[in-house]
Amino acid sequence: MAASFLERQGLTVLERNFRTRRGEIDLVMREGGVIVFVEVRLRTNPRYGGAAASITPRKQARLVAAAQVYLARLGREPPCRFDAVLLDALDPERIAWERHILER
């Protein structure tokens, strides 16, 4: 659902569930010349802060580490950013897309 949503926004899927020993990236996408590393979070119970709150500093560090591995495999370092697709239900009408999540 998240990939389809982002594709409708003009992004292109490069990889799904990119895994390394250092971490995992749910979606690697391209928007123009920018590589976008996307974390997808579903939290149906707001008691613990919802989907955005679940992207902890530890999770952010693992995203960066996995992205470094991905970029090393490319052999070049294009512009990139980290985004999140946040869901509080499996409802396509209730998707939130946050760009530049590491700059919060």
Beta carbons within 8 Å of 99's beta carbon, 6+ residues apart: 81, 83
Dist CA 9 CA 38 (whole Å) = 14
Please check whether residue 36 is in contact with residue 15, taking contact to mean a CB–CB distance below 8 angstroms.
Answer: no
pLDDT value at residue 19? 96
Per-residue model confidence as pLDDT tens for the chain (104 residues): 999 999 999 999 999 999 999 999 999 999 999 999 999 988 665 665 666 667 888 999 999 999 999 999 998 889 999 999 998 767 777 799 999 998 64
pLDDT value at residue 47? 62
Find tokens 């009408």 and name the residue. 93
